[in-house]
Amino acid sequence: MAGCHSPQTIAAVPKKADTADKHTRINPQLGRPDPKPVEISDYVFLNRNANHIELNGADWSGLIHKFENIGNHGGKNVSIVHIGDSHIQADGNTGRVRSYLQKVYGNAGRGLMAPLRIAGTNQPLDYTLSTSGGASTSTLLKQPWKVNMGFTGVAVKPAAQHATFSLSDKSPFNILRIYANGPVSVSKVTSGGEEIQHHSTSTEWGAQVNLAHRVESVNITISGRNLIVYGFDARDTETPGVLYHAIGNNGATFSTYSKIGSEGEGIALLDPDLVILSLGSNEAFGNISDAEFYRLIDNLVKEIREHNPKAEILLTTPSECQRSVYTTSRVRSKKKKRPRRVTSRSYQINTNVERLRNVILKYGKENNIPTYDFYSVAGGKGASAKWLQKGLLSTDRIHRTWNGYYLEGNLIYNALSHLLTGTNEEPVAAVTEAATAENVAAKQATPAASKKKAATSKKKYNNKKYGKKKKYPRKKNKRKKRR
């Protein structure tokens, strides 16, 4: 069967077969980034002729004009909000697009930073965010939610009345927004151990803090009535440019964002000029019908449009992936009379991806919403095996590797650039610079204990693989032979 691979050993099979790969989809294992630049031209199986945005009758001349006038007379920043699942949460692809756009149009700041690690899940590598003291947390997929959910898909309720959050980012900022469930009071802001002069304004959605000068890290002490924090937003008013906000949650679907009930209202705080929706991968592991999937797309799109009438919307399609297949057989041993049951795991193409991709394209065409068909760009049917062979698809056959996400980011940027400027050149310098920064961040994010544990595990593995086996003397048969 095309796209299938030989079964793994019995040790790799979970006690209870996860036929929907739910655990894998919610808990991606991405490892460390590779600093090596990724070039589109290195992968001949990509369908570069499909690497464009299909407008479907929509008029993006206003959006193009906004990009052209960044920093000019009266021209403001361009704000992009990219919403998705685990492919977006890691920020490998969106981080690459952000790096490219900000290199060309200006860096207006990191933008949205969700407290993902505080909530116990993976977080982008280019920022750190922590809090002192305990906190109750909620993530989008773990329902019912312990605390009320916000538009970022993660919520943190500090245990202390006055909570201090520590935040650092490689891009300097002089404005910090706090998104919460109500007005937030700011009592202290420090950076590098010194207190920073600031002016804070409480709002119905949290607070905005104007700093006296640009910084790359802060400790900020805040309070509020039954405070629940949804995220922070770092901006730089000294440099006009692009803000590229990413909202990603492992296992997310169109319906899980709609269940929040305030997704459209929440992202309106980011003042988006363009909203990109990259969903559909997780729905492909269920039994959803075409009609139901179409309806769920429509629900979220309408909610976003209701609260963001001036924003353009772009739908992207998921690329081909694979799913686990479990096979149980009876194996008879020479020493045992009764056969034992053995479960093996193999993989096959998830054909639902192509079906739901067609629904996304149909919805875009019928509702005049632009689409980006990444399914076709990645290589279409059979592409997952090629991505896996080239080290672009993870061994779980669902998520991409860091290089895979970087390649996707390159392709998305090229498609946007072609629409905005008519060119599709790839800024190689930005690739190397971004990859190096991400690799440094990954090393810094690795705790010393984890490094020690990894080294110990490697030593044990080497000893087990290459160590000499102990020789034991054979026991002599003491029974006397019968005469």
- Hey, what are 143's tokens? 């329902």
Q: Over 80: is that where the pLDDT of 338 sits? A: no
445-455: per-residue pLDDT in tens?
444 444 444 45
Model pTM?
Answer: 0.84
DSSP state of 138: E
Q: What are phi and psi of 13, to 5 degrees?
A: -90, 130
Q: What is the radius of gyration, based on Cα positions, of the chain?
A: 25
Cα separation, 230 vs 156, whole angstroms: 7
% of residues, the chain, pLDDT over 70 = 82
Q: Over 90: is that where the pLDDT of 352 sits? A: yes
Q: Over 60: is that where the pLDDT of 81 sits? A: yes
402-417: per-residue pLDDT in tens?
999 999 999 999 999 9
pLDDT at position 11, please?
34
Q: 408 and 98 in contact (C-beta within 8 Å)?
A: no
- Hey, what are 293's tokens? 């999937």
β partners of residue 347: 5, 324
pLDDT at position 21, please?
74
pLDDT at position 429, please?
40
- Hey, what are 239's tokens? 């440099």
What counts of helices (H) and strands (E) characterise the chain? Answer: 13, 18
Q: Which positions ≥6 away from 429 have C-beta within 8 Å?
A: 103
Which of 70-84, 175-189, 426-440 has maximum average pLDDT? 175-189
Give the helix ranges, DSSP H, for 367-469.
374-377, 383-389, 402-421, 428-445, 448-466
pLDDT at position 425, please?
61
For the beta sheet containing 5-8, the strands, ordered from the edge strand earlier in sequence to the opposite edge, are 5-8, 340-349, 322-331
Q: Report the sign of the C-alpha dihedral through residues 26, 29, 32, 38, in that order.
A: negative
Q: Over 80: is that where the pLDDT of 322 sits? A: yes
21-48: per-residue pLDDT in tens?
777 777 777 777 776 778 999 999 999 9
- Hey, what are 361's tokens? 């394209």
Closest to 442 (Cα-Cα) out of 59, 34, 101? 34
316 pLDDT tier (thresholds 50, 70, 90) = very high
133-188: per-residue pLDDT in tens?
889 999 999 989 999 999 999 999 999 989 999 999 999 999 999 999 999 999 99
Average of per-residue pLDDT across 317-345: 79
Average of per-residue pLDDT across 266-289: 97
Indicate the residue type of 340.
Answer: R
pLDDT at position 108, please?
97
Closest to 444 (Cα-Cα) out of 3, 78, 92, 33? 33
Phi-psi region of 427 (alpha: psi -120 to 50; beta: other; left: phi over 0): beta
Average of per-residue pLDDT across 387-413: 94
Q: Over 70: is that where the pLDDT of 241 sits? A: yes
Average of per-residue pLDDT across 217-242: 96
Cα separation, 349 vs 385, whole angstroms: 9
